[in-house]
């Protein structure tokens, strides 16, 4: 089979199996078989970059961006009027029937998913751009992040020019997985699916979005009437055939009784769905009637949302436990056990001392507890009218519950109160820091229970002490044999060869995660000693690193409390072996350089951009003072005019072509390809 044909066949197979898995929830092959198909496609595209297309399944994750542009919606994304009782729904329908001069007409009832609304523009069968709802008239362009969503097709069979509307959400199961990892890292868990979705879709780095498992369920087409559809239900059936994910629970109802039964049926099944829903959206099915009814300035008259009451219960607040984390203490309420959402709840989040004070929550209060999709329930408010005078004000602790040392109470840049233990020997803080370190540096067979045991036996007093643990020390612990001790020591030795990015991430510096660590490691060419000499001036030159992040890094490096760990790491960390290092540094000639590519060249623009990225450079879409080079394709002559060229001349930015790029890389261009 010819290469081009095999690539197209692989793309077709991968798209089919993505739809089976992410849309239909009916996989036909194993994960391993899918991964083998993807690996083959990636390998072929790597060998033949000229055959890469934007809609290939391998191109879902794009480059990080510095900010989000806005786009005007071709059809406004209006909000929907809310109702809170069946009587409201009946009254709404009767009002519309009277206005239309007809009897009861069919409606479509759909689940109201609690996520982030999005508009997905398709032209000629390809996904062109994606945007958030924003203010309804214009929203933020989130195309790069949306492309990472596996249930959103990059191509469809239809060539209609249309804006598909849908809800972006995080499955509950994915939230559980992510929070298990965050807990292991000593990080604050994500509060709920909606907040996680909103934060992820606005991440500046698509790689972050790709790791968060976002999904999309679509619910309509903005231009349905203009495209020839007569009923909303018909658009849903059309979208399903095009490979979009719809919630299969939608139903066409033709009476008040059917609507009521549907609302009650979904309420009973609400907890069984792997996504949060907060109501039912009811829409007139006939699109001509929708157009006749029209809209107000804020909402369509032909739709209404029924909102379910939140899951709440009353209980008594017995005590507050202050938990020691890696960065600060957080309050957890212990309450009388109460049934909530099918589970027995005895603990609930109080978020922080500021919320406790703002809501005037007191010990002994009867409090309202709400689940509302949160990983653990939280205290909504106290029932002040039920107080008998015995309640007590909740005061923040003055001493750490783990080490009994005085706590430091301060305010951050947002004026939020922070309570933290600055004792470097605190066992609670130490445990969280060690767990974060071993997770990020990937020391195998080293779990949280072992960390707690080592701290309890005073075998470790700092993160650096785990680096020199001996087989003899480990074997002496309870439930620890010689073979287990051997595996752990081997894991520590192997971790010393991890890339610099993982070492930096393991340090636990505020505002420095895996993505930032990768950028820093590339900038400093995998040199830990060079990183240790970093200055704030150097750091802010790295793409995507702002003053706040740079400040956190410098503060960590200068803090004397961290010098013992840093010195231990200098002796312990070996870095990747020569073969790994050669592979990593082979593409570093353009590190720190930012390119903008425009004009017609002797090869596809994507091929030039891939070459720049391969050798450590960044590619941006517009010229700015941070641009290193503007690359204008060699097929353009001196009379070539563009805004990018004018801007580059104004900023005195060097202008090159693809042949000059090749010379920078000590390569040649032959037959439309980089060689040598």
Residue 468's nearest CA partner among 493, 445, 485, 449 is 493
- Output the pLDDT for position 389: 92
Residue 469's nearest CA partner among 460, 481, 478 is 460
End-of-domain residue from the set 15, 37, 59? 59
- Domain shared by 90 and 165, yes or no: yes
* 47 assigned to some structural domain: yes
- pLDDT tens for 466-485 read 999 999 888 888 878 888 88
On the 0-12 / 13-18 / 19+ scale of CB atoms within 10 A, 556 is: middle
* 66 assigned to some structural domain: no
d(CA 487, CA 496): 15
CB atoms within 10 A of CB 286: 20
Residues contacting residue 216 through CB under 8 Å, at least 6 positions apart: 118, 120, 146, 149, 151, 152, 166, 167, 168, 169, 244, 245
- Domain shared by 99 and 217, yes or no: yes
- pLDDT tens for 510-531 read 888 877 888 888 888 888 999 9
pLDDT band at 239 (very low <50, low <70, confident <90, very high): very high
pLDDT of residue 22 exceeding 70: no
- pLDDT tens for 72-88 read 888 888 888 888 788 88
* 114 assigned to some structural domain: yes
At what angle are helices 172-184 and 193-201 packed, to 10 degrees? 80
Query: Which of helix, strand or coil describes residue 262?
Result: helix
* Domain harbouring 369, CATH code: 2.40.50.140
CB 169 within 8 A of CB 113: yes
- Output the pLDDT for position 21: 59
Query: Which of helix, strand or coil describes residue 669?
Result: strand
> What is this structure's pTM?
0.47
d(CA 157, CA 588): 41
Residue 466's nearest CA partner among 550, 457, 647 is 457
d(CA 303, CA 79): 10
Query: Which of helix, strand or coil describes residue 310?
Result: coil
Over the Cα atoms of the chain, what is R_g?
29
Section 391-413 average pLDDT: 87
Give the highest mean pLDDT range of 127-141, 272-286, 400-414, 511-525.
Answer: 272-286
pLDDT of residue 586 exceeding 60: no
- Output the pLDDT for position 98: 80
d(CA 67, CA 544): 10
- Domain shared by 29 and 163, yes or no: no
What is the DSSP code (8-state) at residue 622? S
pLDDT band at 24 (very low <50, low <70, confident <90, very high): low
Q: Which of 105-114, 208-217, 281-290, 478-487 has the lowest mean pLDDT?
A: 478-487
Phi, psi torsion values for 379, nearest 5 degrees: -85, 120
* 508 assigned to some structural domain: yes
pLDDT of residue 376 exceeding 70: no
- Domain shared by 201 and 129, yes or no: yes
pLDDT band at 619 (very low <50, low <70, confident <90, very high): confident
* Domain harbouring 513, CATH code: 1.10.150.20
d(CA 655, CA 674): 19
d(CA 535, CA 558): 11
- Domain shared by 566 and 620, yes or no: no
Query: Which of helix, strand or coil describes residue 220?
Result: strand
Give the highest mean pLDDT range of 77-86, 93-102, 422-431.
Answer: 77-86
Looking at the chain, the whole-number percentage of residues with pLDDT higher than 90 is: 32
* Structure token digits, residue 328: 């600060």
* Structure token digits, residue 659: 């042949």
d(CA 266, CA 244): 22
- Domain shared by 229 and 166, yes or no: yes
CB atoms within 10 A of CB 145: 30
- Output the pLDDT for position 374: 46
Residue labelled with tokens 């997985």: 177
- Domain shared by 580 and 605, yes or no: no
Query: Which of helix, strand or coil describes residue 221?
Result: strand
End-of-domain residue from the set 476, 495, 514? 495
Section 125-140 average pLDDT: 88
Residue 262's nearest CA partner among 487, 446, 106 is 106
Characterise 235 by phi-psi region: left (phi > 0), alpha (psi -120 to 50), beta (else). alpha
Phi, psi torsion values for 133, nearest 5 degrees: -65, -40
* Domain harbouring 9, CATH code: 1.10.287.610
* 270 assigned to some structural domain: yes
Residues contacting residue 514 through CB under 8 Å, at least 6 positions apart: 440, 501, 505
Residues contacting residue 475 through CB under 8 Å, at least 6 positions apart: 481, 482, 484, 485
On the 0-12 / 13-18 / 19+ scale of CB atoms within 10 A, 390 is: exposed
On the 0-12 / 13-18 / 19+ scale of CB atoms within 10 A, 313 is: middle
Residue labelled with tokens 């400040």: 551
* Domain harbouring 218, CATH code: 3.30.470.30
CB atoms within 10 A of CB 652: 6
- Domain shared by 303 and 201, yes or no: yes
Domain count, the chain: 6
Residue 499's nearest CA partner among 484, 480, 519, 481 is 519
Residue 299's nearest CA partner among 116, 133, 103 is 133
Count CA atoms within 13 Å of residue 484 on its CB side: 13
pLDDT band at 162 (very low <50, low <70, confident <90, very high): very high
pLDDT band at 49 (very low <50, low <70, confident <90, very high): confident
* 318 assigned to some structural domain: yes
- Output the pLDDT for position 373: 46
Write b or e for each residue in 256-282: b if 16 or more Cβ atoms lie within 10 A of its Cβ, otherwise e: eebbeebbeebeeeeeeeebbbbbbbb
- Output the pLDDT for position 444: 85
Write the DSSP string, 61-89.
Answer: S----SS--EEE-SS------EE-SHHHH
* 660 assigned to some structural domain: yes
d(CA 284, CA 119): 21
Q: Of the residues 112, 283, 519, 645, which is catalytic? A: 112
The H or E element that residue 165 is part of is strand 162-169
The distance from CA 645 to its chain's CA centroid, rounded to whole angstroms, is 35
- Domain shared by 581 and 607, yes or no: no
- Domain shared by 295 and 347, yes or no: no
Residues contacting residue 15 through CB under 8 Å, at least 6 positions apart: 57, 153, 154, 155, 243
pLDDT of residue 95 exceeding 80: yes
Write the DSSP string, 347-377.
Answer: EEE---HHHHHHHT-EET-EEEEE-TTBSS-
Q: How far apart, in Å, are the Cα atoms of 101 and each of 97, 104, 286, 292?
A: 6, 10, 15, 12
Query: Domain residues for 141?
Result: 72-307
For residue 112, indicate whether it is catalytic: yes
- Domain shared by 95 and 198, yes or no: yes
- Domain shared by 134 and 9, yes or no: no
* Structure token digits, residue 180: 């298990």
End-of-domain residue from the set 530, 555, 585? 585
* 413 assigned to some structural domain: no
């Amino acid at each position: 089979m010819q290469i081009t044909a095999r690539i197209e066949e692989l793309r077709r197979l991968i798209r089919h199996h993505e739809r089976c898995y992410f849309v239909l929830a009916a996989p036909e092959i194993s994960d391993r078989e899918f991964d083998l198909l993807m690996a083959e496609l990636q390998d072929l595209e790597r060998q033949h970059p000229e055959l890469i297309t934007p809609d290939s399944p391998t191109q879902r994750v794009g480059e990080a961006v510095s900010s989000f542009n806005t786009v005007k919606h071709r059809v406004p994304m209006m909000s929907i009027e809310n109702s809170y009782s069946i009587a409201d729904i009946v009254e709404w329908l009767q009002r519309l029937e009277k206005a239309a001069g007809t009897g009861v007409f069919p409606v479509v009832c759909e689940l109201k998913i609690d996520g982030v609304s999005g508009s997905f523009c398709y032209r000629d069968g390809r996904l062109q751009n994606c945007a958030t709802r924003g203010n309804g008239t214009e929203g933020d362009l989130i195309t790069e992040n949306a492309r990472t969503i596996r249930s959103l097709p990059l191509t469809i069979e239809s060539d209609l020019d249309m804006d598909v509307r849908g809800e972006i959400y995080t499955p509950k199961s994915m939230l559980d997985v992510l929070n298990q990892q965050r807990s292991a890292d000593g990080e604050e868990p994500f509060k709920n699916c909606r907040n996680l979705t909103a934060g992820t879709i606005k991440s500046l780095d698509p790689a972050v979005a790709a790791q968060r498992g976002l999904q999309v369920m679509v619910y309509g087409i903005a231009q349905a009437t203009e495209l020839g559809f007569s009923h909303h239900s018909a658009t849903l059936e059309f979208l399903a055939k095009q490979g979009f994910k719809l919630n299969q629970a939608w139903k066409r109802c033709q009476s008040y009784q059917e609507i009521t039964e549907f609302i009650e049926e979904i309420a009973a099944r609400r907890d069984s769905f792997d996504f949060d829903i907060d109501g039912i959206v009811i829409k007139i099915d006939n699109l001509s009637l929708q157009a006749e009814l029209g809209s107000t300035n804020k909402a369509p008259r032909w739709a209404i949302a029924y909102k379910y009451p939140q899951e709440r219960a009353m209980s008594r607040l017995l005590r507050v436990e202050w938990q020691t984390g890696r960065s600060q203490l957080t309050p957890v309420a212990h309450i009388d056990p109460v049934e909530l959402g099918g589970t027995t709840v005895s603990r609930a989040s109080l978020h922080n001392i500021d919320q406790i004070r703002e809501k005037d929550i007191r010990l002994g209060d009867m409090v309202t507890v709400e689940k509302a999709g949160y990983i653990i329930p939280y205290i909504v408010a106290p029932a002040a009218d039920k107080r008998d005078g015995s309640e007590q004000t909740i005061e923040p602790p003055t001493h750490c519950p783990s080490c009994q040392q005085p706590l430091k109470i301060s305010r951050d840049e947002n004026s939020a109160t922070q309570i933290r233990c600055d004792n470097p020997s605190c066992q609670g803080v130490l445990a969280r820091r060690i767990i974060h370190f071993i997770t990020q540096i990937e020391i195998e067979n080293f779990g949280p229970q072992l960390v707690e045991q080592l701290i309890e036996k005073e075998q470790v007093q700092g993160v650096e002490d785990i680096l020199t643990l001996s087989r003899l020390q480990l074997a002496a612990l309870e439930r620890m044999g010689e073979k287990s001790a051997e595996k752990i020591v081997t894991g520590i030795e192997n971790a010393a060869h991890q890339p610099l990015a993982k070492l930096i991430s393991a340090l636990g510096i505020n505002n420095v995660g895996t993505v930032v660590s990768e950028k820093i490691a590339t900038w400093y060419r995998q040199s830990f000693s060079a990183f240790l000499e970093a200055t704030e001036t150097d750091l802010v030159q790295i793409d995507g690193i702002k003053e706040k992040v740079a400040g956190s890094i410098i503060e960590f490096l200068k803090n004397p409390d961290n010098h013992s760990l840093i010195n231990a790491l200098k002796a312990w960390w070996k870095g990747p072996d020569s073969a790994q290092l050669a592979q990593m540094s082979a593409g570093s000639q353009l590190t720190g350089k930012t390119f903008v590519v425009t004009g017609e060249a002797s090869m596809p623009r994507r091929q030039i951009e891939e070459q720049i990225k391969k050798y450590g450079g960044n590619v941006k879409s517009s010229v700015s003072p941070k641009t290193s080079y503007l690359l204008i394709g060699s097929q353009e002559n001196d009379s070539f005019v563009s805004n990018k060229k004018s801007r580059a001349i104004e900023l005195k930015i060097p202008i090159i072509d693809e042949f000059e790029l090749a010379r920078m890389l000590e390569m040649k261009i032959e037959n439309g390809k980089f060689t040598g």
